[in-house]
Amino acid sequence: MSRFDLSRRSFIKQCVVGGVAVYSAPMLFNAGKANAAMVSDELMEQWKGAGKPKFRLDGIAKVTGQKIYGRDYRAMDMDGWPDTQHYGFILRANKADHRFEGIDLSAIPENAKPSQVITSATLKNAGIKLPGFFGDKMLLAKGQTPDYLGHAVALLIFNNFASFKAAKTRLQFSDSAVIYGEKTPLTSESKDPLASWRIVRSEGENGANGVDNYSTLSDGLFFPDYVDHQPVWPTEGDKSGSTGQRAIYYADQMAKQMDEEDWFIFEQDYQTQSIEPMMMEPEAFNGWFDRASGTLHTVLTIQSPHDFYLQAGEMIEHSQYKDQITKLVVHSPFIGGGFGAKDHSIFPYYGLMASLLTDKPVHIANDRFEQFQSGLKRHPFKMHHKLAIDKKTLKFKALISDMVIDGGGRLNFTGSVTMVGASALQGVYYLPQNDITAVAHPSQNPDCGSMRGYGTLQSMSSMEMMVNESAEKLNVDPFKLRLANIMQPGYRNTQGAIPNGALRYQEMLELAQKHDIWVNRQQKKQQFEANNPGKKYGVGFGIVTKDYGTGANAPSTQVSITKEGKIVIRLASMEMGTGTDTSQGTLVQQYLGNMADEVFLGEVTLWDVMKLKETDSPYFISQDKQDEMQKDPRWTPVIAMASSASQSSYFQSHTTSIAAKIVFEQGLWPAAIEIWRTQFFNNDHAPADFTDVNNAHWVDGKLTAAGYPPLSIDILAHKAHTMGLVTGVMVHAFNRWSWAESEFVIEGKSSKLAIDALALQYGSGASNSKQALMGKSGYHLLDRTRVNYPNTSMNHAMVTYYAPCATLCEIAVQEGSGEVEVLATHTWLECGRVIVEKLVEGQIEGGLVMGLGHVLHEYLPLGEEGAGNGTWNLNRYQVPLAKHVGVWNLTHTILPPLSESDPTKGMAEVVMIPIVPAIVEAVYQAIGTRFYHLPISKKEIKKALS
């Protein structure tokens, strides 16, 4: 038996949710065989290369198989847990058009019968229900029609693995385990849309840089009524009327212009499919309700542990066990991939429910069949676009779009995915007028969530496909058409907001236009097809720009330095294979001269030191309410954020950099001055002249200034601790497309910082008064003296942070089989200042492969033939393999930053998108047939060639 030693956690912080004390134990450690989060001192020294890491912080553990993921843990591995445990199996409905009338377990052998059968009635008696975010019907009651395929109807608990396995084998694909009654209409047919958005903009008389006649940002949002479960938008336009009437007025004017002007009109339908995220690790949960101590222990495999804290507290609060539970301990181990599908997943709440209702630890883990059936999916889109282009100038004049989104059977992030997909449609192009409507409907399909791409993959790919085809119909070079219409800095997006920073789209287009793949495409086509009978050659291009962030980002970081000079970082972010620990551990060397020695991830309750509180939704709070609440120095619009939406490189780095800078300026720098002043300067006879922090420079990990002897970090840290200077900093920030700014008094001086909460830790030699300021928490929590939060009207901007990416590809189509062979690709990415280049390169390559899967291989049919029937796995679902990728010819260009002050941009999602329209165009150039739905199958290509 192995035990996972938790004693290396030097602290376990506590908070209270729903009256229950919540303890965070973010990482699990095996002090023996499985050193999951640490490397030896010797390897750590090797990790710290000359200015950049030599390998990922978790690289050794990954390649040696020592990195342990959440689903690997059992009760016997957990310190203090019993050695034995239960196993749970969720029984699901594979029909959504019949009433559920019960379950039949007669197929299970007597020696494998479940010890408990948990049904809707069980939950009702126990007062257990889902957190509000997920809706109702955690388990379907008898007589009800499932809301969707895969709706859970019962949870079976088994005393041991053998009986669990025997029973699951009999039940998982059984047609008789779930009893159905009469046929009924789909429940989705009786529900209103899950979300409806309409983005209207009309450029003003001063053009792209001027004041708009109408825009979402300046005029606000408006929404439809629902009649017979369909959206009904206002029909009466009025230039001086309400928000909706003004929008309709300008939308009608635009539609009239498109009919009357001598513009080129391109109109087309597009469709994208349902996709399985296919993360390496299917979802799992391990939990134990220790009734003797009143402690509920959980081990999660999710991207957003903070949200689990809040929602688990809500779930416990309404149950009969509320008064029996005094502590909720949550372990957040490494998770094997996320791609958004482990962000706000419903799965852990079934584990929580099972833990409450059983007397031993219980383990529930999806196999791949179950993950296909019940996991979050990418939203399918149906789109109708109408684009107007001036024939003489080639300028885009107007765009009308109607999108219909399948949100699945249970509401998740469909509302924001729909909004983001609509707002992203314009891609890199400027549109003087637009009327974009996007409506998401419920369906019988598995629920859809925040899978990588978040609606933009679907909409922007179709925009690029329109541009490629429009160029052909106008008989102009596609680069010429693009260059005539790209967004310039200061131009407004479809919502009327100005994107932040420089827009380097023209630079990327000009680089791609000169690339060998493009310049020599016609010559190569002739040569390739002559040398390869039976194969057709084609080249395609796509360029997109993807928003990153959510408009309510709230990162937190703690940076501290030990007396021995070790740098320790603690973060709210999770590690999902993106290298967050490596990048953040590298980032601090800008201010501390050295990379981190330890990086702890997934911290949740640590931040309770700052005593933050939130009230209203950051997306719907009024300006008046925000003005009122921000007077409280402990109030913030949002306390925490999930590890999603490409948030770590920009948002998490923001607080990491600020925390490290304060440690330097308030700790290491004054320590250095004191050493230089007393040991290397005649301070008794003359004033020191090296007090300007701007003169400080780190050289080979040592600090020097004004020609004074370089000092190593261990010497500086020891001095800072001895003097009682700042040796630890904890910060929290908020971003609504701009950072909140606050003023704090630090060591008697006022400082303006782009954060909204700050706590300091002083060295071991601190005076009694400073020790008192830190108190029991170990931190001196400062009150901000002033704060400036971005106006709530910025919510109407929807997005303003963008990272662009472009891809050229050359492919060959095998006429006999219809198979597409990727010969070579080249990607251009502009991601600002790069922290760790190898991590960016890994994202480029991995993202491109995901995009190839979307455009050529991955497909789940909708309805009863799709994933919801429980029979899908990799034997039926094709993911791209090495042979599909052109693995030896994936090249890229990362644009250098404009300066060292460039921000680091979130780009983990954008890298998968441009390959999609590039492949679609390349297939057309190869075989002469255009496709308007995804994926493009071999069968369809073969048919087109016949």
Q: What is the DSSP string of 803-841?
A: EEEEEEEEEEEETTT--EEEEEEEEEE--BS-S-HHHHH
What gap in Å lies between CA 199 and CA 424, rounded to an integer?
A: 11
CA distances from 925 to 741, 809, 857, 919 (A): 52, 11, 19, 10
What gap in Å lies between CA 906 and CA 469, rounded to an integer?
A: 30
The amino acid sitting at 793 is: S
pLDDT at position 472 is: 98
What gap in Å lies between CA 353 and CA 88, rounded to an integer?
A: 11
For residue 87, give every residue at least 6 positions away whose Cβ sits within 8 Å of its Cβ, in sequence order, or none: 157, 158, 160, 161, 164, 362, 363, 364
Give the three-class secondary structure for 434. strand
Both tokens of residue 163?
Answer: 């009986």
pLDDT at position 38 is: 46
State pLDDT tens for residues 532-547.
999 999 999 999 999 9
State pLDDT tens for residues 559-578.
999 999 999 999 988 777 77
Whether 31 has a pLDDT exceeding 50, the answer reads: no
pLDDT range class, residue 4, cuts 50, 70, 90: very low
pLDDT range class, residue 335, cuts 50, 70, 90: confident
Whether 288 has a pLDDT exceeding 80, the answer reads: yes
Closest CA to 68 of 266, 237, 286: 286
What gap in Å lies between CA 642 and CA 340, rounded to an integer?
A: 10
pLDDT at position 83 is: 93
For residue 482, give every residue at least 6 positions away whose Cβ sits within 8 Å of its Cβ, in sequence order, or none: 428, 429, 467, 509, 543
Query: Ramachandran region of residue 870, left (φ > 0), alpha (ψ -120 to 50) or beta?
Result: left
**Does 54 or 769 have the greater pLDDT score?**
769
Using the structure block, give the residue that is written with the tokens 């047609």. Answer: 175
Torsion of CA 221, 227, 228, 231, to 10 degrees: -30
Using the structure block, give the residue that is written with the tokens 């937190």. Answer: 556
Instruction: State mean pLDDT over 765-792.
Output: 95
pLDDT range class, residue 23, cuts 50, 70, 90: low
Instruction: State mean pLDDT over 243-260.
Output: 97
Closest CA to 815 of 917, 921, 923: 923
CB 859 within 8 A of CB 867: no
Whether 58 has a pLDDT exceeding 50, the answer reads: yes
pLDDT at position 26 is: 47
Instruction: State mean pLDDT over 276-296.
Output: 95
pLDDT at position 22 is: 63
CB 217 within 8 A of CB 797: yes
pLDDT at position 41 is: 65
State pLDDT tens for residues 439-458.
999 999 999 999 999 999 99
Whether 659 has a pLDDT exceeding 50, the answer reads: yes
What gap in Å lies between CA 113 and CA 148, rounded to an integer?
A: 28
State pLDDT tens for residues 379-426.
999 999 999 999 999 999 999 999 999 999 999 999 999 999 999 999
pLDDT at position 10 is: 26
What gap in Å lies between CA 209 and CA 498, rounded to an integer?
A: 9
Whether 35 has a pLDDT exceeding 60, the answer reads: no
State pLDDT tens for residues 107-161.
999 999 999 999 999 999 999 999 999 999 999 999 999 999 999 999 999 999 9
CB 183 within 8 A of CB 131: no
What gap in Å lies between CA 470 and CA 263, rounded to an integer?
A: 12
Instruction: State mean pLDDT over 782-799.
Output: 95
Which of these ranges, 82-96, 691-705, 809-823, has the smallest mean pLDDT?
691-705
Instruction: State mean pLDDT over 927-936.
Output: 98
pLDDT range class, residue 332, cuts 50, 70, 90: confident
CA distances from 928 to 469, 474, 524, 626 (A): 12, 17, 17, 57
Q: What is the mean pLDDT of the chain?
A: 92
Closest CA to 798 of 465, 455, 345: 455
Both tokens of residue 798?
Answer: 């929807």
Whether 2 has a pLDDT exceeding 50, the answer reads: no
Angle between helices 938-945 and 915-927 (to 10 degrees): 20
Q: How many CA atoms lie within 13 A of 858 on its CB side?
A: 25
Whether 252 has a pLDDT exceeding 60, the answer reads: yes
What gap in Å lies between CA 482 and CA 479, rounded to an integer?
A: 5
pLDDT at position 852 is: 97
The amino acid sitting at 391 is: K
Sign of the C-alpha dihedral, residues 563, 569, 572, 577? negative
CB 590 within 8 A of CB 656: no
pLDDT at position 680 is: 85
Q: What percent of the chain has pLDDT over 70?
A: 94
Whether 5 has a pLDDT exceeding 60, the answer reads: no
The amino acid sitting at 464 is: E
pTM of this prediction? 0.93
Q: What percent of the chain has pLDDT over 90?
A: 80
Maximum Cα interatomic distance, the chain, rounded to a whole number of Å: 98
Specify the length of the chain in residues: 946
Both tokens of residue 763?
Answer: 């060295």
Whether 77 has a pLDDT exceeding 50, the answer reads: yes
pLDDT at position 579 is: 81
